[in-house]
Amino acid sequence: MTARPRIAIIGAGWAGLAAAVELAGQAELTLFEAGREPGGRARRIAASGSLLDNGQHILIGAYRECLRLMRKVGVDEHRAMLRQPLAWQRQGGIQLCCPSWPAPWHVLAGLLRATGLGWPEKWQLARALQSLKWRRWRLAEDMTVARWLQLQHQSDWLVEQFWRPMVLSALNTPLEQASMQILATTLRDSLGGRRADSDLLLPRQDLSALFPAPAQRWLSQQGMCWHGGVRVEQVQAAAQGVLVDGQPFDAAIVAVAPYHAAALLQEPQLQAQVKAFAYWPIYTAYLRYDVDIAMPAPMMGLQGGTLDWLFDRQALSGERGLLAAVISAPPLELQALSREALLRKVEADVGELLPALNGLQPVAAQLIVEKRATFASTVGLTRPHCRSRVQSVYLAGDWLCPDYPATLEGAVRSGVTAARQLVQDLPSSRVASR
């Protein structure tokens, strides 16, 4: 009986875990993670005596690979997440809620019923989206979102009220730099897909419980060897396979941030490609009040405020009095503020959104800053191939998914792609049948 191939996976974020789950049963897996817990940039962390997510993520119905692998490791989507039709609710701005109608009528009905939009703006927005659909969501030549909006004759009011916050939420990149093709692909898979694809999936559990922790448990049951708190220093080709800090493996998947991958592999072309990547931060402010929270919706925005979106964690996960405020790609003037000053601005926004809390001091406040939360989804950004130039080494991570911005779905898809490419490249006699 032929021994199964020995595969090392370096990095237990969502991409590395996805690769491991895809390979389970076909190989002997060893998973290395520098941190003590899996999850990467989407996990639960301990902060000031509380367990909080290191960022507030949402999923959408189009995230098919995320949902498939969650089911595979035993996550019940309906218990883990609140599914609701697409809604865009920004106080002082646009209020849009799509009904549960078949596509594309749900989007059309939501747009026709929307408030905060005049009929000229509704027509401009519908025309712009329809032009993308007619072109099958492909541009003849990529350009910035700002330039495309100009060519589509979108009004300044519509750009600031809808497009700018939407691009920041989807791509975490200012629209003056963001790739219109990446945005078009994102719109294709949400607004341009099935009705359920545009649904918002708001986590009811912390991010670790959503996928990383169940995946780790499931993989351990499949025989995976876990090395938490171990930072791999070197990955290099061997006569047969690859050496990971001197340990022999038949192949390895490097599922870490681009700058870590470039340092780990020391491969010139990858290093040159990674130098072209820029990054944007995401700030998440957690405010806990000694009162029950009653937001009109579990997710709301504030037009013209410091925060982009506010999440009612009490309604979602039962954490009394807890709110999570997200600031995507904060401008430099906000980045220059002290944590205390930024939290005061967020508290003022909360008071405007929820008058019952106006003037009420939170009993706890925590600001979590991910300085390089995502890569910038810019025009002309070249993504490396999942098969690296180092023999028997493959790459995974949201930065490798060619069509998507930095999302959980992009990370998971990249892990699945790397795993399948690895299996395809190995001799068939070395891969166990499912």
- What residue ranges do the domains of the chain occupy? 6-44+206-277+378-430, 86-198, 279-375
Q: Per-residue pLDDT tens for 100-157?
A: 999 999 999 999 999 999 999 999 999 999 999 999 999 999 999 999 999 999 999 9
Using CB atoms within 10 Å of the CB of residue 228, give its burial: 0 to 12 exposed, 13 to 18 middle, 19+ buried: middle
Q: How confident is the model at residue 427 (pLDDT cuts 50, 70, 90)?
A: confident
pTM: 0.95
Query: Which residues have a Cβ under 8 Å from the Cβ of 49 and sit 6 or more positions away?
Result: none
Average pLDDT of the residues in 236-241:
92
What sign has the CA pseudo-torsion 294, 297, 303, 305? Answer: positive
- The two tokens of residue 391 are 């023999």
Q: How confident is the model at residue 49 (pLDDT cuts 50, 70, 90)?
A: low
Find out whether 283 and 369 touch, Cβ atoms under 8 Å: yes
For the chain, the maximum distance between any two Cα atoms, rounded to a whole number of angstroms, is 71
- Residues facing residue 82 across a β-bridge: 202
Find out whether 150 and 198 touch, Cβ atoms under 8 Å: no
6-44+206-277+378-430 falls under which CATH superfamily?
FAD/NAD(P)-binding domain (3.50.50.60)
Secondary structure class of 202 (helix, strand, coil): strand
Residue 430 has pLDDT above 70, yes or no: no
Q: How far from chain centre, in Å, is Cα 5?
A: 31
Q: Which CATH number applies to 279-375?
A: 3.90.660.10
Q: How confident is the model at residue 48 (pLDDT cuts 50, 70, 90)?
A: low
Which amino acid is residue 129, in one-letter code? L
Average pLDDT of the residues in 336-350:
97
Average pLDDT of the residues in 319-335:
95
Residue 72 has pLDDT above 80, yes or no: yes
Distance CA 129, CA 227 (A): 47
Secondary structure class of 383 (helix, strand, coil): coil
Closest CA to 250 of 431, 111, 124, 92: 431
Distance CA 264, CA 9 (A): 13
Q: What is the pLDDT of residue 178?
A: 98
Q: What is the pLDDT of residue 431?
A: 57
Whether omega before 104 lies within 30 degrees of 0, making that bond cis, reads yes
- Least confident span in 10-24, 50-64, 283-297, 395-409: 50-64
Q: How far from chain centre, in Å, is Cα 410?
A: 7
Residue 428 has pLDDT above 70, yes or no: no
Using CB atoms within 10 Å of the CB of residue 286, give its burial: 0 to 12 exposed, 13 to 18 middle, 19+ buried: buried
Find out whether 15 and 415 touch, Cβ atoms under 8 Å: yes
Query: Which residues have a Cβ under 8 Å from the Cβ of 55 and sit 6 or more positions away?
Result: 41, 42, 207, 282, 284, 326, 368, 370, 373
Query: Which residues have a Cβ under 8 Å from the Cβ of 411 and sit 6 or more positions away?
Result: 13, 14, 15, 18, 40, 396, 397, 398, 401
Average pLDDT of the residues in 209-218:
97
Distance CA 85, CA 107 (A): 10
DSSP assigned state of 153: T
Distance CA 82, CA 84 (A): 6
CA distances (Å), 117 to each of 109, 152, 180, 300, in order?
14, 17, 23, 17
Which amino acid is residue 229, in one-letter code? G
Query: Which residues have a Cβ under 8 Å from the Cβ of 222 and sit 6 or more positions away?
Result: 24, 25, 29
Using CB atoms within 10 Å of the CB of residue 371, give its burial: 0 to 12 exposed, 13 to 18 middle, 19+ buried: exposed
